[in-house]
Structure 1
Amino acid sequence: MPGHTENHVIVNAPMDLVWARTNDVADWPNLFTEYAKAEVLQDAGDRVRFRLTMVPDEQGRVWSWVSERELDPATRTVVARRIETGPFEYMRIRWTYHEVEGGVLMRWTQDFAMKPDAPIDDEGMTERINANTPVQMNAVKRVLEAEAAAMPPLQGPLAPGRETL
């Protein structure tokens, strides 16, 4: 049975910051702890093709693959898929962003199936993704919240406490 995961985190930061930084694929090694390198292969504005290279695993193996992301800024959604699937028959990821009290609710939904000869089955990969995704989401959250805290406060007539002229 194919795998399906859904994980989310609330990032206490402005939507524009969360959207821009999490969609800057070339800078992902500074957001995620699992990526050693992110190389943009093709950037067509709202469609980006890139190669990700992981940090070495426990056995010293380095995993790398090509993926593609399609951004929809109007709905604040991203759909991604692996082009080089490796051990996956397919891997599709949907990122959604919603403004909520306390910041931005960022949700990642992953649908996938492992190849029959993969070293792990669908259930095992589901467990692995559900263990690692919260770690990565919290790494992103820490970076973005620190950046938001360092931003200068709003000034002018729409700043908090200055709703009237």
Structure 2
Amino acid sequence: MSGHTMNEIVVNAPMDLVWSRTNDVADWPNLFTEYANAEVLEDTGTRVRFRLTMFPDERGRVWSWVSERELDEETRTVVARRIETGPFEYMHIRWTYHVVDGGVLMRWTQDFAMKPDAPVDDAGMVARINTNTPVQLSAIKQRLEAEAAQRAAS
């Protein structure tokens, strides 16, 4: 078995702002609501390796892992994967950005498989991702649209 999710949102902001802010991994704790810390371990300009640490979950457990992102600014595509997989056999994420009426369509596609001893199975993780990702996308949308409005007013 494996899991697959696709979530998207239109952000009413310029592409350059959406691209630069969502790919500034070191600043993710100010963009996402779930990350307590983002530590960049290596940055080549087109590839970023980093450690994410979440806020404690409902049981007080703090989740942390290392991931890697490869950015293609020309195609406005990011391909990411977990290096430290934790409960996942694998986790691959693809972010795409497209200019559309109303702003930038940002889409996250996740393909993964859970390990047999993981606390949830593939279907359970699909449900978790499809519950949490819209929350994160909305937070990003709100923050970037406010930043774009502030820049436009300056």
State the TM bucket, normalised to the shorter chain.
over 0.9
TM-score (norm 2): 0.98
| Equivalent residue number for residue 49 of structure 1 | 49
Deviation, structure 1 residue 152: 3.3
Based on CA coordinates, which of the two structures has the bigger radius of gyration? 1
**1:34-64 per-position Cα deviation (integer Å, ceiling 9, x unaligned):** 0000000000110000000001101111000
Taking only the aligned residue pairs, the percentage that are identical comes to 79
Deviation, structure 1 residue 153: 5.7
| Equivalent residue number for residue 91 of structure 1 | 91
In structure 1, C-alpha distance between the alignment counterparts of 2:33 and 2:72, rounded to whole Å? 26
RMSD between aligned residues: 1.0
| Equivalent residue number for residue 9 of structure 2 | 9
Q: Which secondary structure does the structure 1 equivalent of 2:33 belong to?
A: coil
In structure 2, C-alpha distance between the alignment counterparts of 1:138 and 1:68, rounded to whole Å? 23
| Equivalent residue number for residue 80 of structure 1 | 80
In structure 2, C-alpha distance between the alignment counterparts of 1:45 and 1:30, rounded to whole Å? 21
User: Which runs of 4 or more aligned residues in structure 1 lie more than 4 Å from their structure 2 counterparts after TM superposition?
Assistant: none
| Equivalent residue number for residue 157 of structure 1 | none
| Equivalent residue number for residue 105 of structure 2 | 105
TM-score (norm 1): 0.92
> For 1:3-152, what aligned pairs fall within 5 Å after superposition?
3-152=3-152
Amino acid corresponding to residue 106 of structure 1 in structure 2: M
Gaps of 5+ in 2: none
Deviation, structure 1 residue 76: 0.1
Gaps of 5+ in 1: 155-165
Aligned length: 154
